[in-house]
Structure 1
Amino acid sequence: MTRPILVTLLFIGAHVSSIYAQPFGNLKAVNSKNDEQNPVIHPDGKHLFFTRAYDSANVGGRHDSGDIYMAEIIGGQLQKAKNAGKPLNDPRYNSIIGLSPDGKTAILSHQYAPDGMAPKTQALSYSNWQNGKWTVPKKLAMDYFMNKSGSVTGSVSKNGKIMVLSLDSFTSRGKEDIYVLFYENGSWSQPKNLGSDINTPLQEVTPYLAPDGKTLFYSSNGFQEGSGRNVYKSERLDSTWRNWSKPEPLGPQVNSIGVELYFRILNQNWAMMTSTKNSDGYGDLRLVPYQSGDAVEDTSSVFVENYETSFMGEEEIENSPGEVLVRIKTLDEADQKPVKSSLFAETTGRDTISFVLKEGLGIYEASVPDTLKKLKVEVKASGYLSATEQVVIDPDQQDKVMLIRLKELKVGAKVQLDNVYFEQSKAVLKDESFPELDRVVEMLKENPNIEIKLEGHTDNQGNSKLNLKLSQERVDRVKEYLVQKGVSAKRIKGKGYGGSRPIASNASEATRKLNRRVEFVVVKD
């Protein structure tokens, strides 16, 4: 072949061109008595990549948990699969998370070490196709990566700008959760949990973002008690990546009493996945009829270039024995520039931690005992809304920089108060609203020149006049609370808009709840 065998792994069947109106023959050329996983079609449509476990041809032999394999597609038919070999494969589990849009860079699911053994730190890697072969994998530039699970599964969007991963990380609700990362400023962002609409206290794995950039497919065992891992589908409702439609299981043509993983769209009529149904106990690659509708349409146009220089890793940092170095950088949410801040950190035992600013880097650092598990960090900056983050301490991640983004309180800035709640159809604040409102009080006291306008909104259900009245009463109640806490009433305006300013569709409860909100806008700074 003239193209890199491994690189194609990333864009799994999802990014196949329309020439695959009919799937490629049967899958006997790729399935074996061993375990086949993670199918990926190269952007050129001429190669299928996947991971095979416990095969004698693997780099680590029959006990090797997974190597990357490749099968050519000639005349629409799959040819016999071959091991991709080194340097993509080592004695550990190997797979491709994603591929650059030009198919010349593969993102790999773990960090590589010269001796083939597990390195001391965690990371993903990348390899480039150069001069007819894959380069030695290097560490992928990423902010604050941590995974307590034994493996990483995921995919990269067709434009190469978004990655969805299954991780057991610092904000996971139970076991593996789905996270999203964004490629920006030459690096991948800190993983962001997709929230409770998607994630359960059990396992969410093998996420795949369809070409439309908003339809998510993944496998979970957390929605039905006692069930295996089945494939679910959900649609992103807004740009926060935290609000999703209710996950729905795919039909019996996809899900079974077995385990279904790695669901990937091939074209408008077919998908590929791994299933244990009617197998020898391990997973086999399967073709399943699936009407994908609009999800197969590519709505992106961005092409990512220069991955070789962009994905270079950082030098590792040494620290004193018995200590872990925590590194934090505070950025302006809008322009991503560093913000000079004050950091206040507290352990679960109420001990305080002091951070020191490294002026040349704009990074705040603190050494903490390696026995410490969590750290609560509050960030304050003049002219910005304060932020509080829970930092999980991991000795393997002390070379990573955690990014905390702050919203500038300038005229026109709008802040949604996500944790302000009222009793149903009333203007009575629930107790869980007070911490959020106290944060607004503190912000106003620390920025005495700022004036705000409170805005109340409802959905469109019921009588519009009553909704308008309720939204105004709720704004008045929030203002009353702020004034009771010592803020001058002259600094706070307020108006209720009822259901006249929705930010999402009112067609379902999942989207209507987004329209029921309280916000404030800075009107003077």
Structure 2
Amino acid sequence: MRYWLFFLLFFSERLLFSQSVSPQRIIGSAYHEFAPMESPDGETLFYSVAKHPTNVAGVKDEGDIWMVTKKDNAWGIPRPVSFPWNDRQRNQIVGFFNQGQSVLLLNEWIPEGSSYKVRQGLSVSHKVNANWTIPVSVSIDYFFNESSDYSMQLSADGKVLLMSLESYGRVGAEDLYVSFRKEDGNFSEPVHLGWDVNTKFQEMYPFLSADAKRLYFSSNGFPGMGSKDIFMSERLDDSWKKWSVPINQGFTINSEGSEWSYSEPEGKEYAYFVSTQNSEGFGDIWQMPKLPTDSADSLSIVPVLPLALTLPAEDSSQVASPPLMKSTYNFTAVVVSAEDKQMIALSSIRVSHTGDTLLQVINPANPISCELDKEKTYWLEVEAKGYFPLSKSVVFTGNNDSLYLKPLAVGTTVALKDVLFEKGSEVMIDISYKELEKVVKLMQANPTVEIALSGHTDNQGSAKLNLRLSQQRVDAVKAYLVKMGVDEGRISGKGYGGTKPIASNANEESRKQNRRVELTIVKN
């Protein structure tokens, strides 16, 4: 009975706290609003809107920056920001600095007529005589990202840049990173924030408190109440890799939907966040008193631990267990060959969440069918003899799905996307070994297969040195496969330097695609 009384006490504290800080929806429409950012003077709220007909690219536009001004403590009518902050890509404010006279913008600004659709990164615009200048590129050392839904947030003092990326050192989906402003105005190489706050699922939309001690972020990799919840963790030292256990910020802000983009304007007693709860479109923007920071108040917003408590056997017939807030559904997917779209026999399938295997079946039936939590992000691994394995992070939405596996046909080439190296070196970074373990398993399961590895660079620097480096990287991959038991005679390899680009070499973003290691089936 004492566990049940503890739960009632916990819930009553949480309810009292919720009543005292009731959030208010301030922006909501049939479109997706996200990434709220208040101007330094507190008179204007900027945010992004996706797929609005009046956006630069119309209903295909992933985000234009909009604004709404405050007058007599009431918000006015929202309207899109005029040129030059919006173009045809996803536009979003990262942060103001220089006493509000400069602003960082997500992505590099691309003039009309450019041959490149998207260039990930940062741009800066400055206020001159009440007008904003055309944004120009800001460099981030060794910037690398594979996520289309990445985000960045500048600290209140303009010196620290937090990022959500699929980059070096991550396992799974988006992770959190930090970068620091240099004397020339550009930013240092991103540093992974470590596994106290990162999981193999999604950590997104980070925000750093004004004192640089508290990190707020959205995640579906920790125990939560919906699809994505907002968490808080405290920085424990200056390495930026050690953090306190992330605390779910409770029912006050989180719901059965998704919540993200929590931010506190400097010097203010309120905060903004985005939620899908009861939304007409997707995300809506909400305002609330900022969350408490001391340990006494934090007790009111501890995550769903009491919901997981079990009652003693003698009390189980007297008191019902508290209802779980999760909803589940039966996920069904058919696995087919990417070549002829016909169903194939599977060897194994594994579905995992936050490192715990939820389902593992040998020789499973096709279609796949299993019970999953709604809108959570899972790690899916599917194997079939004679096919390249499928391994990816995916959000199951409840709809039936089709999964495509590439056959091990002679001439088929795949890029080893997560085989990555230290800059200018043949030394692989840690994430590469997980990718190469899949190649080892493939070779073991298909003993007649022979492969050719090809190494490629961009065209920057000496062509001779690039050719040598690409060969060294191929040799390093081959040496690891042989070390893991693959017959050396089944592997050939060659470095091509920058002679076989698959994208333009005119900018850093497209050059990244050219720096790759590929695997081709030469015999089966």
TM-score (normalised: structure 2): 0.53
User: Kindly tell me: are residues 279 and 142 of structure 1, through their superposed partners in 2, closer, same or farther at Cα, counting changes over 3 Å?
Assistant: same
Are 1:251 and 2:255 matched, yes or no? no
Residues 140-183 of structure 1: per-residue CA shift (max 9 Å, x gap): 12211111111331211111110101011122121100000001
The answer (yes or no) to whether the contact 1:68–1:95 under 8 Å persists in 2 is: yes
Instruction: Name the SS for the 1:165 alignment partner.
Output: strand
Correspondence for 2:122 among 116, 120, 124: 124
CA distance in 1 between partners of 2:134 and 2:247 (Å): 41
Are 1:262 and 2:261 matched, yes or no? yes
Correspondence for 2:100 among 96, 100, 103: 103
The answer (yes or no) to whether the contact 1:47–1:73 under 8 Å persists in 2 is: yes
CA distance in 1 between partners of 2:154 and 2:474 (Å): 31
2:45 alignment counterpart:
48
TM-aligned CA deviation for residue 281 of structure 1:
4.1
User: Kindly tell me: are residues 116 and 172 of structure 1, through their superposed partners in 2, closer, same or farther at Cα, counting changes over 3 Å?
Assistant: farther
User: Kindly tell me: are residues 372 and 70 of structure 1, through their superposed partners in 2, closer, same or farther at Cα, counting changes over 3 Å?
Assistant: farther
2:488 alignment counterpart:
none
CA-based RMSD: 4.0
TM-aligned CA deviation for residue 99 of structure 1:
1.5
CA distance in 1 between partners of 2:226 and 2:99 (Å): 39
Instruction: Name the SS for the 2:181 alignment partner.
Output: strand
The answer (yes or no) to whether the contact 2:89–2:118 under 8 Å persists in 1 is: no
1:323 alignment counterpart:
none
2:517 alignment counterpart:
none
1:324-473 to 2 correspondences below 5 Å = 328=423, 345=427, 366-367=466-467, 368-369=469-470
Correspondence for 1:162 among 157, 160, 163: 160
TM-aligned CA deviation for residue 397 of structure 1:
8.9
CA distance in 2 between partners of 1:228 and 1:98 (Å): 27
CA distance in 2 between partners of 1:275 and 1:210 (Å): 20
TM-aligned CA deviation for residue 399 of structure 1:
6.5
CA distance in 1 between partners of 2:78 and 2:68 (Å): 4
1:183 alignment counterpart:
181
1:64-213 to 2 correspondences below 5 Å = 64-115=61-112, 118-119=116-117, 122-186=120-184, 187-213=186-212
Residues matched between the structures, number: 314
User: Kindly tell me: are residues 175 and 132 of structure 1, through their superposed partners in 2, closer, same or farther at Cα, counting changes over 3 Å?
Assistant: same
TM-aligned CA deviation for residue 234 of structure 1:
0.1
Counterpart of 2:260, as a letter, is L
User: Kindly tell me: are residues 280 and 78 of structure 1, through their superposed partners in 2, closer, same or farther at Cα, counting changes over 3 Å?
Assistant: same
* Segment drifting more, 174-183 vs 83-92: 83-92
User: Kindly tell me: are residues 92 and 119 of structure 1, through their superposed partners in 2, closer, same or farther at Cα, counting changes over 3 Å?
Assistant: closer
TM-aligned CA deviation for residue 373 of structure 1:
9.5
Residues 119-139 of structure 1: per-residue CA shift (max 9 Å, x gap): 575422111122322212111
Task: Tell me the percent identity.
Answer: 30
CA distance in 2 between partners of 1:231 and 1:27 (Å): 17
User: Kindly tell me: are residues 35 and 366 of structure 1, through their superposed partners in 2, closer, same or farther at Cα, counting changes over 3 Å?
Assistant: same
User: Kindly tell me: are residues 259 and 26 of structure 1, through their superposed partners in 2, closer, same or farther at Cα, counting changes over 3 Å?
Assistant: closer
Instruction: Name the SS for the 1:62 alignment partner.
Output: helix
Instruction: Name the SS for the 2:211 alignment partner.
Output: coil
Counterpart of 2:54, as a letter, is A
CA distance in 2 between partners of 1:374 and 1:280 (Å): 55
The answer (yes or no) to whether the contact 2:68–2:77 under 8 Å persists in 1 is: yes
1:272 alignment counterpart:
272
TM-aligned CA deviation for residue 294 of structure 1:
6.9
TM-aligned CA deviation for residue 104 of structure 1:
1.5
Residues 192-241 of structure 1: per-residue CA shift (max 9 Å, x gap): 11010010000000000010101000000011389411000000000000
The answer (yes or no) to whether the contact 1:69–1:83 under 8 Å persists in 2 is: yes
TM-score (normalised: structure 1): 0.53
Q: Which runs of 5+ in 2 are unaligned?
A: 1-19, 296-420, 437-452, 478-500, 510-524
Residues 385-425 of structure 1: per-residue CA shift (max 9 Å, x gap): xxxxxxxx997899769xxxxxxxxxxxxxxxxxxxxxxxx
2:286 alignment counterpart:
286
The answer (yes or no) to whether the contact 1:233–1:249 under 8 Å persists in 2 is: yes
CA distance in 2 between partners of 1:172 and 1:258 (Å): 26
Instruction: Name the SS for the 1:184 alignment partner.
Output: coil
Counterpart of 2:272, as a letter, is M
* Segment drifting more, 192-201 vs 282-291: 282-291
User: Kindly tell me: are residues 114 and 222 of structure 1, through their superposed partners in 2, closer, same or farther at Cα, counting changes over 3 Å?
Assistant: same
The answer (yes or no) to whether the contact 1:215–1:233 under 8 Å persists in 2 is: yes
TM-aligned CA deviation for residue 64 of structure 1:
1.6
The answer (yes or no) to whether the contact 1:144–1:400 under 8 Å persists in 2 is: no
User: Kindly tell me: are residues 351 and 240 of structure 1, through their superposed partners in 2, closer, same or farther at Cα, counting changes over 3 Å?
Assistant: farther
